Amino acid sequence: MHAQHDRHRGWNPFWAALGAALLVLVPLVGGTVLLSRQQLSRQLRQAARSQQGVAVQLPRESDRLTVLVCTAGEQPGFVLAYLNASQNCVHLLAVPAGLQVTFADEAAALADCYTAAGPARCRQALMECLPLPEDTRYLALSDAVLERITARYGPVRVGFSGAMTAGELARYGRDSRVQGLSAAEAHGFLTGMDADAVVPQAHRAAARGAVWDAFFRQNLDLLPGALPQALRSVSASLLTDLTALDLDTLDRTLEFLANNEAQIETQVLPGDEQAGRYTLNEESLAAVQSFFNVSPTDGQASSASEP
């Protein structure tokens, strides 16, 4: 009995070593699987095009799309997305919900404009005060639809240290570490802050931008084909003026951007915040020009060097 007991104890270092090795290897394998999935997705798309005899197409000027993306609900959120194949860029501009726009001949918050008249009127209001393209589209997603579309991609890993202060994060039980959030968790966090209206609007918008930025960075290789098809599958649940041709454009543009490791940049629309009102200032126009890469040459050069 004593010998058996000693023999049993002898196994402990082995299992301890095995457990330690697994603690190291499992995260590495998980990261490799994610990377391999993205690389495989790209290789399969390229192989399919090659087998079909499809020549590699250079981007056309029309392979671009500007969309005002609205998250619907009592606390709507707003992000302008600009995808351009010829510039090989994905630019995201988070717009504070309290931005003052003209609605019914009076100044009103963009969120109130959405509640009263919907996303089309919000797009119109933004076009009246910002130099947006005439073909800017709008797309409103409920939290349920957003979760359905993004569920296949898993949690988005995002850090909010560049968007909010440590104190603001602590108020909501969070810190500066990168964390995995599902679409529902991210939506609850962002809309909860909007409902409280304690954190400055620019910081709340920056947090929303950080979530969208992380989503595009982590999943860009997986979006061609999949994202346009997902939007088609939930078309009855969307408020949008995106047409079938627009979704084809989105597909082509995402294909080019994914295959060419597009530059992704995110910023918040600058403005002045006071007593719950967020108003445009002289920096706002320059930011929108940079957003569309139409600033002066030296401005473009400096913006291109930013992370």
Mean pLDDT across the chain, nearest whole number? 86
* Of 158, 169, 251, nearest in space to 213 by CA: 158
Cα–Cα distance for residue pair 243/206, rounded to 1 Å: 29
Q: Above 70 in pLDDT, residue 257?
A: yes
Calculate what percentage of the chain has a pLDDT beyond 90.
74
The helix or strand, by DSSP H or E, that contains position 265, with its residue range, turns out to be: strand 263-268
pLDDT band at 61 (very low <50, low <70, confident <90, very high): confident
Cα–Cα distance for residue pair 294/299, rounded to 1 Å: 9
Residue 62: predicted pLDDT: 85
* Of 38, 94, 99, 75, nearest in space to 190 by CA: 75
Q: What is the mean pLDDT of residues 208-229?
A: 97
Q: Where are the domains of the chain?
A: 2-51, 64-304
pLDDT tens profile 168-193 = 999 999 999 999 999 999 999 999 99
User: Which residues have CB under 8 Å from 49's CB, separation 6+?
Assistant: 56
Cα–Cα distance for residue pair 83/190, rounded to 1 Å: 24
| Between residues 29 and 201, the one the model is more confident about | 201
pLDDT band at 58 (very low <50, low <70, confident <90, very high): confident
Cα–Cα distance for residue pair 225/214, rounded to 1 Å: 20
Residues 262/220, Cβ–Cβ less than 8 Å: yes
Q: Above 70 in pLDDT, residue 46?
A: no
Q: Six-digit token pair at 261?
A: 């490791």
Residues 102/128, Cβ–Cβ less than 8 Å: yes
Residue 239: predicted pLDDT: 96
Residue 15: predicted pLDDT: 57
Residue 41: predicted pLDDT: 56
Q: Above 80 in pLDDT, residue 283?
A: yes
Q: Above 70 in pLDDT, residue 241?
A: yes
From the candidate CATH numbers 3.40.50.300, 3.40.630.190, 3.50.50.60, 3.90.950.10, the one assigned to the domain spanning 64-304 = 3.40.630.190
Q: What is the 8-class DSSP label of residue 241?
A: -
Residue with token string 């931005």? 99
Residues 52/265, Cβ–Cβ less than 8 Å: no
| Between residues 13 and 222, the one the model is more confident about | 222
pLDDT band at 269 (very low <50, low <70, confident <90, very high): very high
**235 CA to centre of own chain:** 20
Residue with token string 């095995």? 18
Residue 14: predicted pLDDT: 59
pLDDT tens profile 91-131 = 999 999 999 999 999 999 999 999 999 999 999 999 999 99
